Amino acid sequence: MKILSDISNSQIKEGNLSKEDILNLLNTKQNDITDLMSLANSKRENNIITYSKNVFIPLTEICINYCGYCTFRKDPTDSKAIILKEKSEVISQLKIAEKQGCKEALLTFGEQADEEEVVKLALNKMGFENMTEYSYDICEATLNNTNLLPHTNAGVLSYDEMKSLKEVNVSMGMMLENSSSRLRKTDAHKNSPGKDPKLRVKTIADAGKLKIPYTTGILVGIGETKEEIAESLLSIKNLQDKYGHIQEIIIQNFRSKPGIPMEYYAEPSVLDMIRTVSVAKLLFEDVSIQVPPNLNHETNQIFLLCGADDWGGISPVSKDYVNPEAPWPEIEHMKHLTNYVGLDLKERLAIYDKYINNEYLNENILNRTIKLKKSIS
């Protein structure tokens, strides 16, 4: 494969790929795919594939965005919508999860949900001004009542909001999805003010300034070009090179769902996912590459052969509220798939080992994290 021979070993080792290099790799011809996969897989540091045993709890399903591919968001008038989950219900779910061995509390809420009157009223009734205050209280209650470690994913947040939530979270996250402003004019993001890439890049950068271990990634198949994929990956790479706080990158494939505006959009091909996962592995040093296992039941092992080294959160007690049609695989099944290709499955926490120190965590969370880590070592 000529493009691989044109990239020096030092470039590959250091993840120092240009936009032109990335584009060439994303356009790898079918006959050269196995070479690309082999090269990406050669960057694997060990034979361990990780996952986090979690419980997924949406605090509200209300959101200012109306993305063309989303089924998480609910209309405030929807009788089945979670307007604001009661604290007692959250704690009850956490305790059930704890008994099942979960160690991560994945707490989510729709972006700027408190701009909706019904959410404001629910918050005020509980004595809170906004979702950040309520989220802080829930995270604090999680720490006080269980051994689980909170990981909040709430989309675009201000610097001050993230600074506050850092006190009670072991890590946080938000998908960049794509850095292209063009997509704001398409079915994917035209009704989604929170998907302004400038706002999302700023949020990820603020997390870096605050030393928050962070998860981000891109969404493949929402109408982007390969050039926009390359630019998005480089945008994340620039943030990581500057701050060093990104612990994992998700390469998530768009899946069509009945009733969404993008219902009849084509899903990305397996070959395009192979190319993108492989490029991500080649581009990023010391950052895990994750592919959601519940969205790729039949192709999961292929991505392991592209260098992917993390399955992300897998829950034995809750569904994936973002992709409710896609059930989580059984952990034993994932262990079998992983072992079958000669790799080992290992549980991890919501924070990666290199961030378990007082540079990233306050004393209380650090001590709890160290204690919990011993339970899975």
pTM, to two decimals:
0.94
Over residues 3-42, the pLDDT tens digits come to: 565 665 556 655 689 999 999 999 999 899 999 999 999 9
Tens of pLDDT, residue by residue, the chain (377 residues): 555 656 655 566 556 899 999 999 999 998 999 999 999 999 998 999 999 999 999 999 999 999 999 888 888 888 888 999 999 999 999 999 999 999 999 999 989 999 999 999 999 999 999 999 999 999 999 999 999 999 999 999 999 999 999 999 999 999 999 999 999 999 999 999 999 999 999 999 999 999 999 999 999 999 999 999 999 999 999 999 999 999 999 999 999 989 999 999 999 999 999 999 999 999 998 999 999 988 888 899 999 999 999 999 988 887 566 666 656 678 888 999 999 999 999 999 999 999 999 999 999 999 999 999 999 86
pLDDT score at 315: 86
Question: What are the residue ranges spanned by the domains of the chain?
Answer: 2-374
Binding-site residue positions for [4Fe-4S] cluster:
63, 67, 70
Q: What pLDDT score does 10 carry?
A: 53
Dihedral pair phi/psi, residue 376, rounded to 5°: -115, 0
The total of other beta-carbon atoms located within 10 Å of residue 2's CB is 8
pLDDT at 294: 85
Tokens representing residue 10 in the block: 């030092």
Map tokens 């690309």 to a residue.
36
Cα(234)–Cα(240) distance, rounded to whole angstroms? 10
Distances in Å between the Cα of 43 and the Cα atoms of 37, 244, 257, 333 are 10, 19, 35, 25
What pLDDT, on a 0 to 100 scale, did the predictor assign at position 329? 72
- Binding site per annotation, positions: 63, 67, 70
What's the pLDDT tens digit per position in 85-114?
A: 999 999 999 999 999 999 999 999 989 999
User: To the nearest whole number, what is the mean pLDDT of the chain?
Assistant: 92
Q: What is the pLDDT of residues 147-172, one digit of tens each?
A: 999 999 999 999 999 999 999 999 99
Residue 231 has a pLDDT of 98
CATH match of 2-374 with 3.20.20.70: yes
